[in-house]
Every structure is written in structure tokens, then in C-alpha cells.
Amino acid sequence: MTPSARIGAAVTLAILAGPDAGCTGGAGSSQAARKAVDPYKASLAFAKCMREHGVPHPNPDRAGNFHLTPHDEELMRKVSPRKHELAEEACFHHLRGAVSTKPLSTHAKALAAKALEDFSVCMRDRGFDFFRDPVVRNMSRGRAFFGFEKSDPALMKVQHTAAFKRAQHACEKSLNRKLDKIIADDRGENA
């Protein structure tokens, strides 16, 4: 959950976690197991548990996915990495059986990088040409990081303005839809 070093380039962090790595059975049986657990309820319990352990974690969307806004990331960065990891260890059990922990494939990561490039163009079209070098990488427990390696230092001056926030919200809506579909397709959740 702690993003790599990047300057003001927070866009989205999708946290997707699920069944025990030791589960047996093929893809069909793991999908059936996930359908038995409501991903929204599981993710909501996880978020509540994280907050109870001192991590200001946002609630999931209706599908059970988490999308961290720059403000969410700012709040979470105030928590030490160790405290965050301990909270996650204490709360992860809520997500078991809810969604896949399968890492994203190389193809899915390439599609996600393209979606981030589209976000950058969307922001540039609205007058905010700040985001450079998309980064997509797998993290532990089925999570994936989506963001930018570099951003223009001038971003710090405008990121709290109403115009920037409106543009960011509009561009992130499209980005999040794309990322959700890429992840679901890659993990066989749309089969």
C-alpha cells in the first residue's frame, strides 16, 4: 500500500485481494468460491478493520474495489509503513475468498499503462500537463500499483485548486472504469 517514491503523481491504487494462496482447485472452483463471498461486504469489513487499526482506509466501491484518491493516499502516507503492514496483516482475513489474488499478467500491465497514458492525455486536454512515465506493478496479496514515476513539480501549485480537482475527478472516472475492466478480464472475473 505504500507507493514507490513519486512526486505528487498519485492517481489510483487498486487493492485487490482474495483467497488463500494455498487453496486447491482450478480457476472455476476459485471463481465459485469468490462468488460465495460478497466482495463488497468483505472489502467493507477490511476497510473498517484497517481504520480500527489506525489506517485511514476508504470504503470500497459497490464491486468491492478500492480506488485511492490523492487525498486518500496523502492521509495513508501519514501512517508509518510498519503500522500499515501490521493493520493489513490483522485485517486481510476479511478479504479471503472475496476476490482473486492473482498477479496481473504482462499483457494486463501493458493495457493498464496505456490507460494511465490516456489519463495523462485527458488531464493535458484540460490544461494540466503534469503526468509522465506510467508505472504499473504487482504488489503483495493480489494488489496492483497504478501511478506515475514522474510529474511536473508545478503540479504541487495547482493540485488543490477546484479546476484541477474537477479535471482529475473526470479523468479518474474513466481511468478507474478501464482499470477495473482490465483487472477483471485478466483475472477471469468477466468469464
The per-residue pLDDT for range 16-52, each reduced to its tens digit, is: 433 222 222 233 334 444 456 888 999 999 999 999 9
pLDDT at 110: 97
Residues of the chain with pLDDT under 70: 1-36, 99, 190-191
Distance between CA 4 and CA 137 in Å, rounded?
10
pLDDT at 157: 85
Helix, strand, coil tally for the chain in percent (to 5):
50, 10, 35
